[in-house]
Structure 1
């Protein structure tokens, strides 16, 4: 029996469509019936079109490309981690806790150390490892909340918000959409209880990230812009945390606008993002959030790729200093660079860039959609390079995108 990556893109779309008619899926996707028929018959389509079809099929573009099987083609370790993460999120929210003696409950110093370690692993892009840490961290925070002395309600709520947000971001990255929505919802509730504007603002970009991954792009744009407007810092406010959270929301709004093809809106939002980053003067790392000049520049590369400005994206990347980026953010930017090179018909250069990232970080790369897109588009690149990439990613290059 053929494995999912061995089918053509058109065959996978047809199987995902199931009993729905081509007309139904075309209407849901906002593409013409002719375009969908062409794809199912083995024709080429553009990346924006493929993204719209993925939305109409209620799936990830990585599934359509064969990079992941339906319902998340994950390793046994990924699945085991997600099961435990799901139990931790739902059990703690329901008040189901393993309750040792009060003396065994973790203290603030223990939790601070655990949180720091979790975010370091997360920033490396080792999301499965981060999930292994996140589940016990959330349980420990819940135990601490149960035994915390009076007067610590705001601090406890802040910790719970951070723990649930970490779980939500990890679940979102691995495609566990329902768990991501639930965890981010719990995080938002506790950030409101903590009355902490920084954490509330940070959750705007977190929720926008989940919506983007779910192809709900217009809602992601609205969420990010609303979160930015709710807590826009004044010039009298010097706290870097709120300014960074505001900048990240503006940046995510720009990303969403670029996915919608709104170049004017995306350019205006990115201009604001760069202004906020310049005001900060450095990249800020706080509770799992990064924002600053390096982060804004990296996102500008991706925004220009999405808008079809490959030359501009490569120009930004060519004068970019990545030293301020986390490993995960740097990896993601290099995927955008590879896609821009591919769009500029620099086939072998694109695949070389992709090989560098995927060879160094194979587990991270397997959960990204862009490598599969490049493999499908770069049909004129060296066959040996494409074969090596396919082995790393577990894909089979079958149909090129237009």
Structure 2
């Protein structure tokens, strides 16, 4: 499969289809037979259509776009990190712990500091580096929970929930879907044991994120909206953490609704998200989550791209202040901007935008499916730009 990235998108779809007929896959995907035939014959289709076809083929968009080969071609260090992450999740869930001497047991202050350090790296979009810290953090959190002093049991469970959630999110970004589902499930268990409504609410958006990556868009929408409804803050609620978690759930509901093409539901959810962001007044960071005016603005760019409102997306991007965004969120918004530029036929500008992100943050970009979508759609642009991007992403030029 070393040549997988060298195939066209249509050739990959045809190979993934196997013995199934075009009619069967078109019906299963919810797209027209004409659209599927057009794609297999070398034509281009929009990202939401690719998502539907991926679901019909029981695969991921990244596979259709040739992004799996770079994932299988991870560096030795990254593969070792993912193995360590998997072992930590499964060992701790099974109660397999390396129990140190009593005086070597981790303390709450040290674990809190370790968590903050891990999340700072995660916010930069350095998911592999964050994963290097997440595995030992999870094992240490499990040890603390086992030896937690009387009265600190809830704190131990909360730490474990955060650690599992981090492992799940990192695994999700790196394409380890089964590990992501497992880790997020363990995170929910310990959030409930901690009786912590904020952490329970946080896991709504985490679950929705994993479901979206798995193309289970309708389920992602239901999960995000249900999580928001279960933990909707009252107007007297003073804790910003619950508002952050609530706002994040609302946004992920909007993202899912936009991918389903439901513009009315998307608009309603984004209106709620902007209201929560205005209530916070600033972007707030807590336990690996960000929400506030900048984050809501960036997501507004993305949902408008998904709905086909490229002009609106570019207008939002030009007007709002993105300085409050994390590096990872800023990178993702830049990809959405490049997609919008493709939609308005600004091919070279789209590749310039993509080049900026991929040059400065190549490790992050290699784990994203959207760069290949942009390259495919902007194939009429400068050949030199396409070559540069292919070298950075480790794929073949169109």
TM-score range, shorter chain: over 0.9
Task: Give the equivalent residue in structure 1 for 2:16.
Answer: 16
SS where residue 323 of structure 1 aligns?
coil
Q: Distance in 2 between matches of 1:220 and 1:76?
A: 33
Is the 2:13–2:40 contact (alpha carbons within 8 Å) kept by the matching residues of 1? yes
Q: Distance in 1 between matches of 2:318 and 2:305?
A: 14
Change (3 A) 1:2 1:194: closer
More off after superposition, 199-208 vs 38-47: 38-47
> Per-residue deviation at 1:74?
3.1
Is the 1:168–1:181 contact (alpha carbons within 8 Å) kept by the matching residues of 2? yes
TM-score using structure 2 length:
0.97
Q: Distance in 1 between matches of 2:318 and 2:72?
A: 35
Task: Give the equivalent residue in structure 2 for 1:291.
Answer: 291
> Per-residue deviation at 1:322?
1.4
Task: Give the equivalent residue in structure 2 for 1:275.
Answer: 275
Counterparts in 2 of 1:148-187, with a 5 A limit?
148-187=148-187
Matching of residue 240 in structure 1 with residue 240 in structure 2: yes
Matching of residue 111 in structure 1 with residue 88 in structure 2: no
Is the 1:362–1:392 contact (alpha carbons within 8 Å) kept by the matching residues of 2? yes
User: Gaps (5+ residues) in structure 2?
Assistant: none
> Per-residue deviation at 1:108?
0.7
SS where residue 285 of structure 1 aligns?
strand
Is the 1:66–1:396 contact (alpha carbons within 8 Å) kept by the matching residues of 2? no
Matching of residue 308 in structure 1 with residue 308 in structure 2: yes
Is the 1:9–1:39 contact (alpha carbons within 8 Å) kept by the matching residues of 2? yes
Q: Distance in 2 between matches of 1:341 and 1:35?
A: 23
User: Gaps (5+ residues) in structure 1?
Assistant: none
SS where residue 290 of structure 2 aligns?
strand
Q: Distance in 1 between matches of 2:12 and 2:394?
A: 16
Q: Distance in 2 between matches of 1:153 and 1:295?
A: 33
Is the 1:211–1:219 contact (alpha carbons within 8 Å) kept by the matching residues of 2? yes
> Per-residue deviation at 1:323?
1.2
Q: Deviations over 1:235-261 (max 9, x none)?
A: 011110001111110011001000000
Task: Give the equivalent residue in structure 2 for 1:97.
Answer: 97
Aligned length: 398
Q: Deviations over 1:42-79 (max 9, x none)?
A: 23322222111111122221221112239855333322
Is the 1:335–1:354 contact (alpha carbons within 8 Å) kept by the matching residues of 2? yes
TM-score using structure 1 length:
0.96
Q: Distance in 2 between matches of 1:309 and 1:75?
A: 38
Matching of residue 140 in structure 1 with residue 112 in structure 2: no
Is the 1:254–1:265 contact (alpha carbons within 8 Å) kept by the matching residues of 2? yes
Change (3 A) 1:185 1:303: same
Task: Give the equivalent residue in structure 2 for 1:323.
Answer: 323
Matching of residue 51 in structure 1 with residue 19 in structure 2: no
Matching of residue 346 in structure 1 with residue 346 in structure 2: yes
> Per-residue deviation at 1:2?
6.1
Q: Distance in 1 between matches of 2:271 and 2:136?
A: 40
Q: Distance in 1 between matches of 2:156 and 2:9?
A: 48
